[in-house]
Amino acid sequence: MPNYSKKDLFEPMTRPAAVFEEESGPQRAGLIFRILLIIVAGLFVFSPTFHGDWLWDDDQEVTGNRGLKTLSGLIDIWSGRVSADYFPLKSTFLWIQYQLWQLNKTGYHFVTTAFHLANALLVWRLFSRLGIRMAWIGGLLFCIHPIVVESVAWISEQKNTISQFFLLISMLAYLRFDERHHLKDYLLAALLFIAAALCKTAVVMLPPVLLLYCWWKRKCISKNDFLWSIPFFAIALSLGCLTIWFQFHRAIGHEGIPVGGLLSRTAMAGMSTLFYISKCILPVDLMPIYPRWEVDSPSWIQFIPDLLIVAAVVYFYRKRATWGRDFLFGFGFFLLNLIPVMGFVTMSYMRITWAADHFLYLPIIGLLGLFCGGVGRLYEAASLTKRFFLEGVGLGGLTLLLYTSFSYASIFVNEEVMWSYNLKRNPNAWQAHSRYAMKLINKNDLEAAYSHLLAAVQLRPDLAEIRNNLGVILQKWNRLDESIERFREAKARAVWEPIYALNLASALITNRKYSEAMTVFNQLVQMQPNNAVMRCNYGVILYFTGFREEAIGQLQKALELNPQLDNARSNLQAILSNVSGVPLQFAK
């Protein structure tokens, strides 16, 4: 047993790079065992989700995404016509899955889990290439950590698991390029980075991470390092700007998100960073929607996290001659990859809350690297007795993580369970109230749904979707005048959103208020001039209100747009035949 001095404990937490350490014989068997352990542990953790239902915005991403259903949809996906964000490669993967198993949810969950397991093995590979001690423990921790559960259990977050798969291979390719300077490694790294960013642009911080790696490895950043990073910065800037455009013009649209100015965003960045660190270290009270702290006109106390973070970075830099360089690399990786979600750039998710577990799927790798390197260094310096103690503590900790992650994954089986769980821990989550109410409406539990919508409207009286949902319940209760009023309020709060106007028009038709319905349909047709169903229904309303010729024109236009629309054809024939008493049918 070698003897270690106190000085040894503060030496760097890395050693010369290895490739999965094991090579042959018993060591190869050990390698296979560790790979199988990661896979089996991951399958156990996520087994509750394999038959999980569609969650949250899965309806926009999959079930209601018309771009997935036809071959021409691929053109719409890559032209950016069918999504609030521009992640076309991720949508292409969803398109392929839709062709294979349509709306069989298990297939999508299998793909998400498979990518996550691959990512866990790639994290192990990356840590090993960097020479981080206990690299395989890093892969195992990434696989089973509770903070990653949301990204794997929620089908819409395939953009996380798929983008990180490409990103990790890109990083490995760049490490090979940095070692042997083969151009093919560099080109592979760049192409895979583009692929990762086309799945989710949260990966755009790779260029500064690569420069940080160069500094960590050589204690400086050379001119060549900067030159080689320029194409990566160009890719990141181009796709990052494209994402911001889509966020403001599609995802956010006309909705105002009260974020505040630079001071508010700076306070938010520091507070969310410490919040994320705490959840990585102690993953308790995890939930899909966290309480939203107020940062508009921040107090001086809310800047303390920023000061602590700056102080930590300065302290690590002062210790860069020994262990500080490793801390700067690991913590820097964590911080850099948090920047896109810190709040400096407005995102649509901010309408709900500031922080989310799925934002940590990439950044947590930096903290896991620090943990493995530190524990590995401590383990090597420990006596035999202390090693047994550390192994026991480690086994207990891994068992606890397995149980915690498995239990947390169980809440993602369906939205009713998920939102009920969330509301017990955060009763002020307005969207949890709203989404839970819609699930209760589907179960015909209208009284409970109505109470949740009233709670939601008190929390966010400015939002159209809550007023719309109230209108849905009132319509089911046959309180048509009240439902129409709620739909009017929803439409007034979001004039750019056709669904609210469509619900209003439907309620007006039910209540035989054809004149106002005609006005609403006229606006809808102007918003969506190529929507055949909209023109068909507009034609029916025009006919009911006495505008026969105009009705014929709308029905003919509907058939030009969609010759297979049977309702438009039968309605047109009924009007042209001049046979009284023939009922006209609204299209769906």
Rounded distance between C-alpha atoms, residue 367 and residue 481, angstroms: 56
pTM > 0.85: yes or no? yes
CB–CB of 449/441 below 8 Å? Answer: yes
pLDDT at 501 exceeding the cut of 50: yes
Range with the lowest mean pLDDT among 43-52, 198-207, 478-487, 500-509?
Answer: 500-509
What is the structure's pLDDT at 413?
Answer: 94
Rounded distance between C-alpha atoms, residue 215 and residue 209, angstroms: 10
- Mean pLDDT to the nearest integer, 467-481: 91
Rounded distance between C-alpha atoms, residue 383 and residue 335, angstroms: 35
Closest CA to 57 of 352, 343, 256, 340: 352
∠ Cα 155 158 164 (to 5°)? 155
What is the SS3 assignment for 164? helix
pLDDT at 230 exceeding the cut of 50: yes
Residue 156 half-sphere exposure toward CB, CA atoms < 13 A: 18
Highest-confidence segment of 59-73, 194-208, 292-306, 453-467 = 194-208
- Mean pLDDT to the nearest integer, 214-242: 94
- In this structure, is the dihedral angle defined by the CA atoms of residues 284, 287, 290 and 291, taken in order, positive or negative? negative
What is the structure's pLDDT at 535?
Answer: 87
The H or E element containing residue 226 is helix 223-246
What is the structure's pLDDT at 160?
Answer: 96
pLDDT band at 499 (very low <50, low <70, confident <90, very high): confident
pLDDT band at 544 (very low <50, low <70, confident <90, very high): confident
What is the structure's pLDDT at 12?
Answer: 60
Rounded distance between C-alpha atoms, residue 185 and residue 415, angstroms: 44
Rounded distance between C-alpha atoms, residue 68 and residue 74, angstroms: 7
Rg of the Cα atoms in the chain: 28
CB–CB of 130/168 below 8 Å? Answer: no
What is the structure's pLDDT at 134?
Answer: 93
What is the SS3 assignment for 14? strand
pLDDT at 53 exceeding the cut of 80: yes
pLDDT in tens, 480-494: 999 999 999 998 888
What is the structure's pLDDT at 85?
Answer: 84
What is the structure's pLDDT at 6?
Answer: 38
What is the structure's pLDDT at 148?
Answer: 97
pLDDT at 98 exceeding the cut of 50: yes
Residue with tokens 């018309």: 66
Range with the lowest mean pLDDT among 127-131, 303-307, 491-495?
Answer: 491-495
Rounded distance between C-alpha atoms, residue 160 and residue 115, angstroms: 9
DSSP classification of residue 378: H
What is the structure's pLDDT at 121?
Answer: 97
| Percentage of residues of the chain with pLDDT beyond 70 | 93
Residue with tokens 């105009």: 550
Rounded distance between C-alpha atoms, residue 99 and residue 74, angstroms: 12
What is the structure's pLDDT at 13?
Answer: 60
Angle between helices 262-281 and 324-338 (to 10 degrees): 120
Rounded distance between C-alpha atoms, residue 497 and residue 503, angstroms: 11
Closest CA to 47 of 395, 401, 413, 421: 413
Rounded distance between C-alpha atoms, residue 372 and residue 398, angstroms: 13
Distance of CA 57 to the CA centre of its chain: 10
Write the DSSP assignment of 38-49 as a string of letters.
HHHHHHHHHGGG
What is the structure's pLDDT at 21?
Answer: 47
pLDDT band at 255 (very low <50, low <70, confident <90, very high): low
Closest CA to 357 of 293, 278, 434: 278
- Mean pLDDT to the nearest integer, 575-586: 73
| 24: amino acid identity, one letter | S
What is the structure's pLDDT at 25?
Answer: 61
| Percentage of residues of the chain with pLDDT beyond 90 | 61
CB–CB of 370/114 below 8 Å? Answer: no
What is the structure's pLDDT at 317?
Answer: 94
- Mean pLDDT to the nearest integer, 258-282: 91
Rounded distance between C-alpha atoms, residue 69 and residue 63, angstroms: 10
| 557: amino acid identity, one letter | K
DSSP classification of residue 468: H
- In this structure, is the dihedral angle defined by the CA atoms of residues 35, 40, 41 and 45, taken in order, positive or negative? positive
- 141-152 as b/e, with b when 16 or more CB fall inside 10 Å? bbbbbbbbbbbb
Residue 547 half-sphere exposure toward CB, CA atoms < 13 A: 16
Supply 359's token pair. Answer: 């934002």
pLDDT at 357 exceeding the cut of 90: yes
Closest CA to 376 of 7, 8, 3: 8
| 47: amino acid identity, one letter | S
CB–CB of 145/364 below 8 Å? Answer: yes
pLDDT in tens, 362-403: 999 999 999 999 999 999 888 888 889 989 999 999 999 999
pLDDT at 83 exceeding the cut of 90: no
What is the structure's pLDDT at 19?
Answer: 45
Rounded distance between C-alpha atoms, residue 51 and residue 104, angstroms: 9
pLDDT band at 20 (very low <50, low <70, confident <90, very high): very low
What is the structure's pLDDT at 81?
Answer: 79
CB–CB of 406/45 below 8 Å? Answer: yes
Rounded distance between C-alpha atoms, residue 137 and residue 588, angstroms: 54
pLDDT at 191 exceeding the cut of 70: yes
- Mean pLDDT to the nearest integer, 211-219: 95
- Mean pLDDT to the nearest integer, 557-583: 82
- Mean pLDDT to the nearest integer, 109-126: 97
- Mean pLDDT to the nearest integer, 267-288: 95
Mean pLDDT score of the chain, rounded to an integer?
89
- Mean pLDDT to the nearest integer, 39-48: 96
pLDDT in tens, 325-341: 999 999 999 999 999 99
What is the structure's pLDDT at 582?
Answer: 59
What is the structure's pLDDT at 519?
Answer: 87
- 339-362 as b/e, with b when 16 or more CB fall inside 10 Å? bbbbbebbbbbbbbbbbbbbbbbb
Residue 413 half-sphere exposure toward CB, CA atoms < 13 A: 10
Specify which residues 14 forms β-bridges with.
132
Range with the lowest mean pLDDT among 70-74, 222-226, 249-253?
Answer: 249-253
Supply 51's token pair. Answer: 């038959």
